[in-house]
């Protein structure tokens, strides 16, 4: 067997054997719903303090159709990046990934989110009503 045969076999193996990447296999074990900055009550909280997790991505008051990708994981701390395809009113946006952020899980209903260019905030799942004007955000 010569070097050329080995190279061809290696190329065939890499084509036919899927190699999972970390971003594909790592999941955030969070309950879907609306999360509020822990310094606020859910009802009456400013829009800027709310994040919605739909099981695929985090969206906020000025973003929608978002996808959050796990870049790496150490224990319960994840390095994540979120990309949104629309602004809050549904208008298509240029899908530009956010800065990388660090997310530390505090069970399935809370987390600490820290941006590398800003401070960190604790978030908790809103289980009480958000008020009639925000009822769609809770879904």
Mean pLDDT of the 20-38 span: 75
pLDDT tens per residue, range 105-136: 998 899 999 987 678 999 999 986 555 444 44
Q: Are 104 and 77 in contact (CB under 8 A)?
A: yes
How far is 107 from 126, CA to CA, in rounded Å? 14
CA distances in angstroms from 61 to 7, 10, 13, 57, 79, listed in the order given: 51, 48, 46, 14, 22
pLDDT at residue 73, rounded to an integer: 95
Q: pTM above 0.85?
A: no
Place of tokens 């193996």: 13
**Separate counts of helices (H) and strands (E) for the chain:** 2, 8
pLDDT tens per residue, range 33-87: 999 999 999 999 999 999 999 999 999 888 888 899 999 999 999 999 998 887 7
Q: Are 58 and 66 in contact (CB under 8 A)?
A: yes
């Amino acid at each position: 067997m010569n070097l050329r045969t080995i190279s061809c076999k290696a190329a065939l193996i890499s084509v036919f054997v899927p190699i999972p990447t970390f971003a594909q296999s790592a999941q955030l074990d969070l309950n879907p719903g609306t999360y509020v900055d822990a310094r606020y009550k859910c009802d009456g909280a400013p829009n800027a303090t709310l994040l919605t997790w739909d099981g695929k991505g985090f969206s906020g008051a000025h973003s929608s159709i978002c996808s959050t990708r796990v870049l790496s994981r150490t224990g319960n701390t994840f390095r994540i990046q979120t990309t949104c395809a629309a602004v809050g009113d549904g208008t298509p946006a240029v899908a530009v990934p956010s800065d990388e952020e660090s997310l530390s899980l505090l069970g399935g209903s809370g987390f600490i989110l820290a941006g590398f260019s800003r401070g960190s905030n604790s978030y908790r799942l809103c289980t009480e009503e958000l008020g009639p004007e925000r009822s769609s955000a809770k879904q």
